[in-house]
Amino acid sequence: MAIHNVPIPSRQLYIDGEWREPVKKKRIPIINPATEDIIGDFPAATAEDVDIAVEAARRALARDDWGSTTGEQRAKYLRAIAAKVLERKSELAILESLDCGKTLFESAADLDDVAACFEYYADLAEALDLKRKTPVDLHLDSFKSYVLREPLGVVGLITPWNYPLLMATWKVAPALAAGCAAILKPSELASITCLELGEICREVGLPPGALNILTGLGPEAGAPLSSHPHVDKISFTGSAATGAKVMTAAAQLVKPVTLELGGKSPIVVFDDIDNLDIAVEWTLFGCFANTGQVCTATSRLIIQESIASAFLDRLILWTKNIKISDPLEEDCKLGPIVSSAQYEKVMKFISNAKNEGATILYGGERPQHLKKGYYVQPTIITDVNTSMEIWKEEVFGPVLCVKTFKTEQEAIELANDTKYGLASAIMSKDAGRCERFTKVGVFLICCKQFFLINRHGITTRVNWILQAFQTGIIWINCSQPSFCQLPFGGKKRSGFGRDLGEMGLEKYLNIKQVTEYTCDDAWAFYKSPSKN
């Protein structure tokens, strides 16, 4: 089938450098979330296919054409992939939008980031050659030591549907740069461009088995990959619930995992901002970009009471101006939710908020001009208290909840009032305040009371607060910018470990200590047996 003059490819599983039909020959329909039409299908892998892919990956590591390559050699493949992505950018952007409902502008921007990420890790692969074997000075004449950095082995990469090819690249590029053999399992809700990555790898001559791509359902393909005894590591991005299952499966084999899970991120706006509209636009972008389907979305607006009324008035005016349409239309800024099930989930969150006593200040319904597709108006909810579901749980849709504050202390407490710890944002022109929200420290101020017993046994009352965002990512006077050079990840129930940056490469490396005794003299720990 061809839509907008771009054919929907009909692919098989990409294993060992070839397209292979799934063992059980199952396929899954592709549904365009903007029209609800079936536009194609893709293969559904099962445990049998996982076994075949793992064997192919292990063979790749044992062969000279991949297992013995230098970082410089691997960098050439990564740069060739980046060039092919840019060459096919227009086509891939349309496929991405058709598959997951992302606006065409956002899809095209994602592909620029995909190419940039492969280029970045090509540079790091080359640099890895210089520090693959790093001498360590022990200040001893009798020993010589060095640290050896080697590929970790076969890695399983499980990625989400909100940034299909980009999130896959965040894992695939560093895994290949490190010299691992990878098995990518993309989300069943958006797999088209991830399969096209397989075709790109085939075209640039990436050695067979270095990257294998298994599409399919989580329980049938993702679970066997997580628990496979010959997979050395799992890197997962997705929901907290699924992340817990991945971690449990990996734990049975004491297999390392990296988890990038959900978020309920705050954006705190102070009354000292110079330009209300700049703060309003960042607030909109922080929650409504990619139709709110962003793990770092700053979906809790915490705004200083003195400017709340004026800020919300401007926020509504800006929100009304957002174009909601088919994602392939020019100037579309908000497309559909990815699937019927996710659409129903978002609408239930909005309904529950209203039933709990919150006010739907704007939106909360299907746009009247769109009769088909999984569309939700950008939604602003006020009169929220911290016990409400809408305050506590990740919606993963264009839904912003609002609370006000009076003092800086109250703002940071509201911001940290979440089980998640992925990202946070602050809008303020006070450099000292921004520093306080960024840097962990204990400040003696008037807040909750704690009692300590000093060394003389005297009970002392102290007032203190941990004055900083409890997150892995902090944005100052902005929200959502992401760069491949910077580590990406969180704490608390948002997971652990990092994608991107140098840390994104290091997690795919095995670090070996090698120590040599260089002295000709005996060690002389034991008494030498006497000669007869």
pLDDT value for 445:
41
Q: Is the pLDDT of residue 210 over 60?
A: yes
| Shared-domain flag, residues 48 and 117 | yes
Is residue 132 a contact partner of residue 126, using CB atoms and an 8 Å limit? Answer: no
Separation CA 307–CA 264 (nearest Å): 23
pLDDT value for 452:
47
User: How large is the average pLDDT for residues 348-362?
Assistant: 98
| Strand partners for 380 | 362, 400
Q: Is the pLDDT of residue 335 over 50?
A: yes
| Strand partners for 495 | 260
DSSP-derived secondary structure letter, 531 = P
pLDDT value for 206:
98
CA neighbor of 168 nearest in space, from 128, 207, 198: 198
Strands 181-185 and 154-158: parallel
pLDDT tens readout for residues 260-313 = 999 999 999 999 999 999 999 999 999 999 999 999 999 999 999 999 999 999
Q: Is the pLDDT of residue 532 over 90?
A: no
Specify if 504 maps to a domain.
Answer: no
pLDDT tens readout for residues 41-95 = 999 999 999 999 999 999 999 999 999 999 999 999 999 999 999 999 999 999 9
| Shared-domain flag, residues 281 and 223 | no
| Shared-domain flag, residues 256 and 302 | no
pLDDT value for 441:
58
Q: How would residue 456 be classed by pLDDT, with cut points 50, 70 and 90?
A: low
CA neighbor of 176 nearest in space, from 154, 159, 202, 192: 154
pLDDT value for 461:
47
Active-site position among 96, 126, 260, 413: 260
| Shared-domain flag, residues 370 and 460 | yes
Separation CA 54–CA 154 (nearest Å): 7
Q: How would residue 5 be classed by pLDDT, with cut points 50, 70 and 90?
A: confident
Specify if 494 maps to a domain.
Answer: no
| Shared-domain flag, residues 236 and 286 | no
| Shared-domain flag, residues 71 and 158 | yes
Specify if 309 maps to a domain.
Answer: yes
CATH number of the domain where residue 205 is located = 3.40.605.10
Separation CA 394–CA 346 (nearest Å): 10
Q: Is the pLDDT of residue 531 over 70?
A: no
- Residue indicated by tokens 């899954």: 28
User: How large is the average pLDDT for residues 469-477?
Assistant: 97
CA neighbor of 507 nearest in space, from 67, 158, 174: 174
pLDDT value for 447:
40
Separation CA 323–CA 335 (nearest Å): 9
Structure tokens at 499: 């994608």
Specify if 209 maps to a domain.
Answer: yes
Q: Is the pLDDT of residue 525 over 60?
A: yes
Domain boundary among 476, 506, 526: 476
DSSP 332-368: --B---S-HHHHHHHHHHHHHHHHTT-EEEE--S--T
User: How large is the average pLDDT for residues 420-431?
Assistant: 98
CA neighbor of 493 nearest in space, from 273, 269, 267, 239: 239
| Number of domains forming the structure of the chain | 2
Q: Write out 160-207 in H/E/C secondary structure.
A: CCCCHHHHHHHHHHHHHHHCCEEEEECCCCCCHHHHHHHHHHHHHCCC
CB neighbour list of residue 5: distance below 8 Å, 6 or more residues apart: none
Is residue 143 a contact partner of residue 135, using CB atoms and an 8 Å limit? Answer: no
CATH number of the domain where residue 333 is located = 3.40.309.10
Which domain covers residue 251, as residue numbers?
A: 13-131+150-261
Separation CA 259–CA 144 (nearest Å): 37
Specify if 84 maps to a domain.
Answer: yes
Separation CA 72–CA 126 (nearest Å): 5
CB neighbour list of residue 311: distance below 8 Å, 6 or more residues apart: 269, 276, 279, 280, 303
| Shared-domain flag, residues 196 and 299 | no
Q: How would residue 443 be classed by pLDDT, with cut points 50, 70 and 90?
A: very low
Domain boundary among 261, 288, 323: 261
User: How large is the average pLDDT for residues 342-353?
Assistant: 98
pLDDT tens readout for residues 83-136 = 999 999 999 999 999 999 999 999 999 999 999 999 999 999 999 999 999 999
Domain boundary among 452, 476, 500: 476
pLDDT value for 448:
44
pLDDT value for 330:
93
Q: How would residue 3 be classed by pLDDT, with cut points 50, 70 and 90?
A: low
| Shared-domain flag, residues 292 and 400 | yes
| Shared-domain flag, residues 81 and 207 | yes
Chain centre to alpha carbon of residue 463 = 37
Q: What percent of the chain has pLDDT over 90?
A: 92
| Shared-domain flag, residues 277 and 237 | no
Q: What percent of the chain has pLDDT over 70?
A: 94
Separation CA 92–CA 193 (nearest Å): 7
| Summary mean pLDDT of the chain | 94
Strands 459-463 and 18-20: unpaired
| Shared-domain flag, residues 238 and 357 | no
Alpha helices of 252-402 — where are they, by DSSP H? 276-288, 305-320, 340-355, 389-392
Specify if 499 maps to a domain.
Answer: no
Q: Report phi then psi at 39, rounded to 5.
A: -115, 0
Is residue 149 a contact partner of residue 179, using CB atoms and an 8 Å limit? Answer: no
Specify if 403 maps to a domain.
Answer: yes
pLDDT value for 463:
42
Specify if 407 maps to a domain.
Answer: yes
Separation CA 132–CA 61 (nearest Å): 17
Q: Is the pLDDT of residue 4 over 70?
A: no
Is 87 considered catalytic here?
no
CB-count burial class (<10 Å; 0-12, 13-18, 19+) for 294: buried
pLDDT tens readout for residues 143-184 = 999 999 999 999 999 999 999 999 999 999 999 999 999 999
pLDDT value for 343:
98
CA neighbor of 484 nearest in space, from 474, 499, 494: 499
Q: Is 429 helix (H, G, I), strand (E, B) or coil?
A: coil
| Shared-domain flag, residues 303 and 248 | no
Is residue 479 a contact partner of residue 294, using CB atoms and an 8 Å limit? Answer: no
pLDDT tens readout for residues 363-381 = 999 999 999 999 999 999 9
pLDDT value for 458:
52
